[in-house]
Amino acid sequence: MTGRDGRARAKDKGDERRGARRFAVRDFKIDLQSEESFLFAYVENISELGIFVAMEKPLPVGTKLTLRFPARGDVGPLTLGGVVRWINPPSGRHPGMGIAFDPLSAAQREKVVALVRAVAYLTHD
């Protein structure tokens, strides 16, 4: 990898941590439900492994969630389990939380891949 000055730079720890390419998205609202709350949130980026949602008061790391994605492109509504893996606190410059999807069945994985493609395509037209 090279930096802006053309010199080689080490991989970002985030690059090593992520196992799938992330795509920035706009206007993609989902429902999040934990044992204690029901929320609406905007997805800021998505991959085959999880999402980042912008949120002023992120839920604690380890919170288990049910994620409900609306239909997008040719992909119908989708419901998945997930867990909060990391947060950017409200005092930070970009508050929100990273949510990893629970292990997916083959059918769920196909739907997630189709959703990622649909969202990436519709966002980058």
Tens-level pLDDT at each residue, the chain (125 residues): 333 334 333 333 443 455 778 888 888 899 999 998 999 999 999 999 999 999 999 999 999 999 999 998 888 899 999 999 999 988 878 899 999 999 999 999 999 999 988 887 655 44
Q: Where are the domains of the chain?
A: 18-117
Please state which CATH number belongs to domain 18-117: 2.40.10.220
Contact status, residue 80 vs residue 112, Cβ threshold 8 Å: yes
- β-strand pairing of 64-69 with 50-54: unpaired
Query: Full-prediction pTM beyond 0.85?
Result: no
